[in-house]
């Protein structure tokens, strides 16, 4: 086919003219759309070239949905997606673009378009020529063009990134600043000129030193009505100071940002290109990198609120507050004094505090192996006995510095009160200023211009109401605060400081307060529980490096597991042989220092009677002596079976109520209990006694708890 005015190119066939010619218009950024208008006009002018190539103007379509959109991905480009759909529907004969890079900057998207154009015989045209994707030479040129477009995009991005990184290395790349700072028109970072804003930021850091946790600071700010200063980053109120209710994330951001220590960082939070969103890589989850690990880190670049050493101490404290295996965690509620600092001396894992329920004493349990591998508990012990000795050691260590600490605490309380009172005074002063400004605006208005005067009058009334409301809240706050300390109060504090145990046990001293004191003095407490008796080896590692060891006693499940059981049984035998009554025996045991296994109390006559029953020194006599004839072959009395199994009769009564024993009451209500057990039944009961009460053994326990068929 020859070239003629009616057919300007031999590549154009009649079926091309039967379909539409599409002009694709795109600019990469909104700024280019506004500033580079000639480029946009040249792209729209491609419609005239389509007419020159033989297409009627009615068949020329312009797709300009992607103005201001980057061509590096098909996502977020509805115009390009519409173009692909039109080609796949066989409605397009020619695609025109000022440059092929306008169509796609990605080889994946570019070759996808080429494959569709070749399949449906669609031509492509730019300012340099006309291309047929079916032709080998044109396909080769188009493929090289796509590679050059993607390489050009990479070069542009690298050039921009290196320029950005070079500015960051000088510490001048500042997009936004946190609360308490402003960015001047010259680009420098300065402290917020508002005195109240600076005071609130300093108050947050001071309270974190006292409270130790982000949530503690949050509770303090909310309880005292303190608002956090925030300057709007954009919109009509850009740069204006706004006072908002404090939230946990805002306080955490302030405590973690190194700018408050005068440092500059860049590359704090890396990006993950696997999860793109709207043309930009999505930030990875997590709390970001440490300041020293950032791509750019410069100290002493900006005015600071705190020193760098104080900032590092805050980061260490925040890390220690996290609930992890290698950290003690934040001080929480609960009566366990050593929670967070107790470690297992057997496996080296952290032991956790366990609260069995209301009224039950806490205990320390090493359950890591059971949680991770389903193994039995490594060890456990009740907390009271260990805590009693550790608390005594802590009080002994506190005694020399008690007076200084008490007076320092009183001074800190007065300083906190002064800071909060100053914050309220500044809030009232700001509200009065707003009311005065509203009054000046109202008085400056022309009286006859009622349309404006009514609006200004309403604003003035609202400002006056805000002042009255704030003054009432400030008055209620001052009345709720305790009075200032006088000379008599300070003298009382000095006297009280000499009685540290009284302060330690006072109802006003919370478990969290005691636990905080323990963590300041002790690094860890290592426990080794003797599984054979009630001994617990306690090793206290103090913060200064000193180590102190002690052997304590714990609550166990029975008298026979006590270390003093041989002495206790021998003493009971001697007292019984001397004809002492159970009451006299209880007094003697308490005087000798013996203690029950499950409680920190003292022996009672009832406990002595039960012990005599277990030792066989006071055998239970049946109410009807002739009832021995009621015992079937293989039968025994319940207390005799308890001695044979080395268990308490109360344990066997519990098994009886659960249906785990073959037992019957002889002589009616109130009579003795007879238990049937042959050799096989005795073996089952012994296995039931030895089987651990764990969820991993529940199937084995289920088999052992079912009594066999009764014989005889």
Supply the CATH classification number for the domain 625-704: 1.10.1660
Per DSSP, 258 falls in state: G
598-630 burial code (b ≥16 CB/10 A, e <16): eeeeebeeebbebbbbbbeebeeebeeeeeeee
Q: What is the dihedral of CA 338, 340, 345, 349, to 10 degrees?
A: 160
Same fold, 14-165 and 181-273+286-320: no
Residue listed under structure tokens 């066939």: 13
> CB 561: neighbour CB atoms within 10 A?
16
Give the separation between CA 34 and CA 40, rounded to whole angstroms: 10
Task: Pick 14-165's CATH classification: 1.10.3720.10, 3.40.50.1390, 3.40.47.10, 3.30.70.3450.
Answer: 3.40.50.1390
pLDDT in tens, 685-699: 888 888 776 655 566
Query: How confident is the model at residue 438, as a pLDDT?
Result: 86
Percent of all residues in the chain with a pLDDT value above 90, rounded to a whole number: 18
Query: Any residues with CB less than 8 A from the CB of 448 and at least 6 apart, and which?
Result: none
At 711, the pLDDT band (50, 70, 90 cuts) reads very low
Residue listed under structure tokens 């307060």: 513
Is the domain spanning 181-273+286-320 CATH 3.90.1750.20? The answer is yes
* Beta bridge partners of residue 454, listed in sequence order: none
Supply 635's token pair. 């039968």
Instruction: Tell me which of 4, 28, 363, 627 is the catalytic residue.
Output: 28
Whether 28 is a known active-site residue: answer yes
Give the separation between CA 550 and CA 536, rounded to whole angstroms: 8
Query: How confident is the model at residue 526, as a pLDDT?
Result: 92
Q: 383-398 and 511-521 are packed helices; what angle lies between their axes, rounded to 10 degrees?
A: 70
> CB 525: neighbour CB atoms within 10 A?
22
The distance from CA 92 to its chain's CA centroid, rounded to whole angstroms, is: 56
The distance from CA 306 to its chain's CA centroid, rounded to whole angstroms, is: 25
Give the separation between CA 634 and CA 412, rounded to whole angstroms: 77
pLDDT in tens, 179-193: 999 988 878 888 998
The listed range with the strongest mean pLDDT (281-285, 615-619, 630-634) is 615-619
Per DSSP, 266 falls in state: E
Residue 456 pLDDT more than 50?
Answer: yes
Do residues 218 and 236 touch, judged by C-beta distance below 8 A?
no
Listed range (46-50, 87-91, 172-176, 197-201) with the worst mean pLDDT: 172-176
Listed range (478-482, 517-521, 544-548) with the worst mean pLDDT: 478-482
At 629, the pLDDT band (50, 70, 90 cuts) reads very low
- Where exactly are the structural domains of the chain? 14-165, 181-273+286-320, 559-615, 625-704
Residue 2 pLDDT more than 50?
Answer: no
> CB 192: neighbour CB atoms within 10 A?
18
| CA-closest candidate to residue 215, choices 260, 258, 247 | 247
* Beta bridge partners of residue 380, listed in sequence order: 365
Strand ranges for 498-650 from DSSP E: 522-529, 535-542, 547-553, 635-637
The distance from CA 334 to its chain's CA centroid, rounded to whole angstroms, is: 19
| CA-closest candidate to residue 228, choices 157, 153, 178, 182 | 178
Residue 5 pLDDT more than 50?
Answer: no
pLDDT in tens, 566-608: 888 888 888 888 888 888 888 888 888 888 876 557 888 888 8
| CA-closest candidate to residue 306, choices 255, 238, 233 | 255
Rg of the chain over CA atoms, in angstroms? 42
> CB 550: neighbour CB atoms within 10 A?
14
């Amino acid at each position: 086919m020859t070239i003629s005015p009616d057919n300007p190119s031999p590549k154009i066939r009649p079926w091309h003219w039967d379909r539409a010619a599409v002009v694709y218009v795109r600019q990469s950024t909104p700024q280019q759309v506004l500033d580079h208008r000639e480029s946009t006009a040249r792209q729209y002018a491609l419609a005239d070239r389509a007419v020159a190539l033989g297409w009627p103007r009615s068949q020329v379509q312009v797709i300009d949905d992607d103005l201001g959109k980057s061509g590096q991905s098909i996502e977020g480009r509805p115009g390009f997606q519409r173009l692909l759909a039109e080609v796949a529907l066989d409605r397009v004969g020619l695609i025109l673009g000022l440059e092929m890079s306008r169509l796609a900057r990605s080889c994946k998207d570019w070759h996808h378009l080429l494959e569709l154009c070749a399949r449906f015989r669609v031509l492509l045209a730019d300012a340099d020529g006309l291309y047929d994707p079916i032709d080998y030479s044109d396909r080769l040129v188009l493929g090289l063009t796509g590679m050059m477009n993607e390489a050009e995009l990479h070069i542009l991005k690298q050039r921009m990134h290196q320029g950005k990184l070079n500015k960051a290395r000088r510490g001048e790349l500042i997009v936004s600043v946190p609360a308490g700072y402003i960015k001047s028109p010259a680009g420098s970072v300065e402290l917020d000129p508002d005195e109240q804003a600076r005071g609130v930021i300093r108050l947050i850091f001071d309270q974190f030193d006292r409270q130790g946790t982000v949530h503690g600071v949050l509770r303090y700010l909310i309880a005292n009505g303190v608002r956090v200063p925030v300057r709007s980053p954009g919109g009509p109120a850009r740069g204006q100071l706004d006072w908002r209710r404090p939230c946990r994330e805002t306080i955490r951001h302030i405590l973690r940002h190194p700018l408050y220590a005068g440092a500059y960082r860049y590359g704090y939070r890396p990006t993950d290109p696997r999860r793109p969103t709207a043309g930009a890589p999505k930030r990875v989850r997590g709390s970001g990198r440490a300041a020293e690990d950032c791509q750019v880190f410069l100290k002493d670049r900006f005015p600071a609120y705190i020193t760098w050493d104080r900032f590092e101490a805050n980061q260490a404290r925040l890390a220690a507050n996290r609930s992890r295996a290698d950290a003690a965690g934040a001080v929480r509620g609960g009566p366990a004094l050593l929670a967070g600092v107790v470690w297992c001396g057997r496996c080296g894992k952290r032991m956790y505090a366990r609260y069995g329920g209301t009224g039950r004493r806490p205990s320390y349990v090493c359950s890591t192996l059971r949680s991770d591998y389903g193994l039995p508990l490594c060890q456990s012990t009740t907390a009271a006995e260990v805590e009693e000795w550790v608390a005594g050691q802590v009080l002994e260590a506190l005694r020399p510095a008690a007076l200084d600490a008490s007076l320092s605490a009183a001074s800190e309380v007065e300083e906190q009160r002064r800071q909060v009172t100053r914050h309220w005074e500044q809030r009232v002063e700001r509200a009065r200023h707003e009311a005065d400004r509203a009054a000046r605006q109202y008085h400056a208005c022309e009286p006859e211009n009622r349309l404006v005067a009514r609006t200004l009058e309403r604003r003035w009334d609202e400002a006056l109401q805000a002042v009255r409301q704030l003054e009432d809240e400030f008055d209620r706050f001052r009345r709720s605060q305790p009075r200032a300390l006088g000379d008599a109060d300070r003298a009382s504090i000095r006297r009280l400081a000499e009685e540290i145990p009284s302060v330690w046990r006072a109802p006003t001293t919370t478990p969290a307060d005691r636990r905080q004191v323990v963590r300041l003095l002790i690094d860890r407490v290592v426990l080794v529980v003797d599984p054979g008796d009630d001994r617990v080896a306690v090793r206290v590692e103090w913060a200064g490096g000193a180590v102190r060891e002690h052997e304590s006693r714990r609550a166990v499940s029975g008298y026979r597991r006590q270390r003093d059981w041989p002495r206790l049984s021998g003493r009971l035998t001697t007292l019984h042989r001397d004809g002492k009554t159970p009451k006299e025996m209880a007094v003697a045991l308490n005087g000798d220092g013996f203690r029950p296994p499950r409680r920190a109390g003292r022996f009672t006559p009832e406990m002595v009677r039960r012990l005599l029953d277990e030792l066989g020194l006071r055998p239970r006599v049946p109410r009807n002596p002739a009832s021995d004839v009621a015992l079937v072959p293989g039968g025994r009395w319940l207390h005799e079976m308890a001695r044979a199994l080395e268990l308490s009769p109360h344990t066997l009564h519990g098994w009886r109520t659960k249906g785990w024993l073959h037992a019957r009451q002889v002589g009616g209500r109130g009579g003795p209990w007879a238990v049937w057990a042959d050799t096989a039944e005795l073996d089952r009961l012994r296995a039931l006694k030895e089987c651990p009460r764990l969820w991993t053994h529940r199937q084995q326990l289920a088999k052992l708890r079912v009594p066999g068929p009764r014989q005889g």
